[in-house]
Structures are given as C-alpha cells and as structure tokens.
A and B are shown apart, each in its own frame.
Chain A
Amino acid sequence: MRIGLDRRGRERIHEDQRAFRRLLEAFAYPGRIVTLAEGRPAHAIVLETLADAGTPLWIEDGFEAIRDRAAAARWPLTDQGCCAFALCRVEALGCLDGFAMGTLADPHLSATVVAEVAALSGGAPFALSGPGVGPEGRVFAPLGLPEAFPAAWARNNAAYPCGVDLILTAGPLCACLPRKTKLETTDVCSR
C-alpha cells in the first residue's frame, strides 16, 4: 500500500527496523532520549515506521510535508477524536480530552500522540515513575510544554488502563511517555 514510497526496497526495510528498535527503547524506558534516524525529523520517522492504510491519522496544520506523504501513501486522514496516531503541535498537549482513550474492554484502542516540542531537555524537570523507570529514577525536562500539560497528564494517568500514549519529538530525537508514566515536578536538575 505504500505506493511510490518503496523504491528504496531493501534499504527501507532496514531503516524501518532500526527506527522501530530505537522507538521501542524510548517507549520501554520512558523519558530516555533516543535518536530515531540521524538527520531526519523523528516525528516523520514515527509515522513512517508505524502508520499504514489501516491507521487513521490526525495531522495538525504545520506538518504539510508529512500530510503530502500521508496522501501519497494512502494513510487515511481523520479528525482528532477518531485517530490512531496524531501528529500535533505542542499546544495540543494542554488538553488531552479530545483524543480516543480506549475503553476498559479495549484499552489498546487509544490514540498515540506524537508532538513536536522545542527541545527534550532544558525545560522544567519532572521526576518520572512507573514501569520502565529503573531503580535510579529518571528526570525528564522537555522544553516548551504548555502550562496545563501536567494537569492534563495527571488526568490521563487517572484514566488507566485507558489513556493516550505520548511520543515527544524534537528534530531527530524522541522520548516517550506511555500512559502509566507519572510525572512529578522536581527541583533536581536534568541528569
């Protein structure tokens, strides 16, 4: 179904695999910053690695290149409430209520939200806890999140096992906050 995109053939297979394994690491170890593919925007790589004709996308204005690619690859476009993947600007993270959260019976049917932030470090630090955070803990300090984000994320936590999963990107870098990761504001500097 990826008509016109797959001329790279075998090389594409290996690129997708490498990107997925890096994304898997970021997703399994929340707050860990990884490079998905050198020199390429991570938000585009996430979609290229995971999206297909069966995954409705919501792409906010400002990501025209990806929107063109989605059309070429025949990824179905939809609205915020129905998308499996969302690609949005950081402002959208002030309120997560508009996304599909899944249900108690089908908690996996929730949106995976990809949002481009100013940077993945240098912001106000959060201490992370939950699965994937090791005994030493992890401090994560993305830059440019809306002020309302911590409260929105706490509501997302409270909906568990429902809830959206978040992939933050900045240039070629990405870091993930699966729905069970808790954030606590902290004074500790980013490690």
Chain B
Amino acid sequence: MTETFAYLDEDSKRAVRRTILKALAVPGYQVPFIAPEMPIAYGWGVGGMVVTASLLGADDRLKVTDHGSDETVNAVNIRAFFTRTAGIGTTTRTREATIVQVRQRVPEAELVERQVVVYQVPRPDPLRAFVDSAVEAARMHAHADYGRVYTRLFEEKTGSHGAVQPGYDYPVLVQGRYLMSPSPVPKRDNVRLNDCPAIQIFGAARERRLYALPPYTRVESIAFEDVPFDPGLPEDGRRCVVCGCGESHLDHLLLRDDGMSEWVCSDTECCAERADA
C-alpha cells in the first residue's frame, strides 16, 4: 500500500518541487509542468492545491481564502481537504499561517519572510489575451518582445479601440524582464506583489504552468511614460458596512430597499480585525 501525505504521491511532489526551484530562479517565467491529478475539477484550484500539497508538512499552519474570504465554500473545502489528508492545522490569521493559498486576491495583511503565498491561476499567460498562437507567445516571452502588447494596452487605455482597461488580471513586468499574469486579482492588488518579503508561487494546472516571485522581487504594473498605472481605486466614497473602512478592496454586498449599494470588505480577516478594534 502506498502511503501518502496531503494526497499527492512522493514522485509527483518531487517533480513539483524541482519546478518550484526553477521558477524561483527565473522570476515571472512560466515553467511547464505536468500537474498531477487532484480529486477536484479544474477551475477549483487544482494548480494551487498541487503546489500546497508539495509544500505542506506536519508543522504547517494553512490559511485558505477565496476572493479574500476564509468562509467561502471553495476556501472551506480546500482547508478541509488538507486537514483530512495531511492532518495539518489551519488558521484564518495571516500572521499565524506558514502557507496561504489564495484565489483572486493578494492578502491584505502584512506578509513576512518564509511565508509562502500560493495563487490559483486560471490563465497563466498574459499574452494569450492578445496573441492567438501559443508558439508566438512563447517566442515573445523568450525575447522579451512585448511591444505589441504595450501598444494594444495603450489603445485600450486611451479608448481608441472602445474597450476599457481591465480591472482584474492586469499584467505586470517582473524584474524588468518577464510579463506575468498576477492571476485575476484586482488591479490595486498588483502593488502588493512588489518587493514582498514572502515567497509567492503561482500554479495553473489546466494550462500546465507554474511560475514564482522570489521575495523582494521588483514587480511593476505595465504603464507608459505619459499614462501612469491607475490602480483603479473607487472614488464614490464607498465604505464597508461592517468595519467602516474606505481604503480596503470592497465587494458589492446587496442593494438596500432604497436602491443604495452596500459594500463590504473582500478580505474578511482584515475586516474582522478592524471591526473588533
């Protein structure tokens, strides 16, 4: 009988671990990898779970969020999965966590050295929004030939093509070399990827790519001399109905009877901490 810890077999972990080191050696470069199967469907975070399973040990404390929340079904299921298969402890406090697996947000709480943030990534290659051919996209990455992408984004930004600048998954340039998808996080989260003391690893299972940001890596949202990066902060004075914060990333909660919007912090940990203060 084969014994496993955190579901994955040891040969698969070994291959993923090798991939993680090469990804750290070339920040922002998408390393091909064959994601081993996990007992959940693609789209629910297989890429992130494979990375987490390859890292996890008995002493780890795991935090999982989806859209910033510890309590969504997806977050609860992933935590339960690793509690069941690895017997590890979990937490909702970032400062207690050794591994933080996230989807669609960068943690708002302060990250520290030796922590690992694991991102679930659906579309790892930012070029594929602009370039149909995977071969051509690979060539552009190989030669840092990103001029066409910049032109295209500039057209979107200035509205000359009628499209609006995307509010999520806004591409970043890593150490001035590789164009990288930050995963579908809000634009404003991009700044939190930069110069982060923690290790950040991005897993895309279906697309078979893994990439990483070592600690203290320079991560810049792409911008132009005359059109600086706009983090897309709302200007309508919205505040969280729970904690009153106007600076955090807010999710639409519901429409009140009078038709007014209500907003609530996306990051439940930071919201609860502010509400308790």
Contact = CB atoms under 8 A, between A and B. Distances in A.
B245 interface: no
Contacts, number: 112
Contacts of B25: 27, 108, 163, 165, 178-180
B3 interface: yes
A13 B214 contact: no
Given A28-B199, A134-B216, A54 B15 contact: yes
Contacts of B143: 104
Interface size range of chain B in the complex: 35 or more
Nearest to B4: A13
B21 A112 contact: yes
A50 B215 contact: no
B26 A49 contact: no
Nearest to B135: A105
Contact of B57 (A10, A18, A161): A18
Nearest to A17: B57
Contacts of A9: 3
B142 interface: yes
24 contacts: A12-B10, A13-B10, A14-B57, A16-B10, A16-B13, A21-B57, A24-B17, A24-B21, A24-B24, A27-B25, A28-B199, A28-B214, A28-B215, A104-B142, A105-B139, A108-B19, A108-B22, A108-B26, A131-B216, A131-B218, A134-B216, A160-B177, A163-B25, A180-B26
Given A103-B142, A161-B29, 9 more contacts: A16-B14, A24-B17, A24-B20, A27-B21, A105-B138, A131-B24, A132-B214, A178-B24, A180-B175
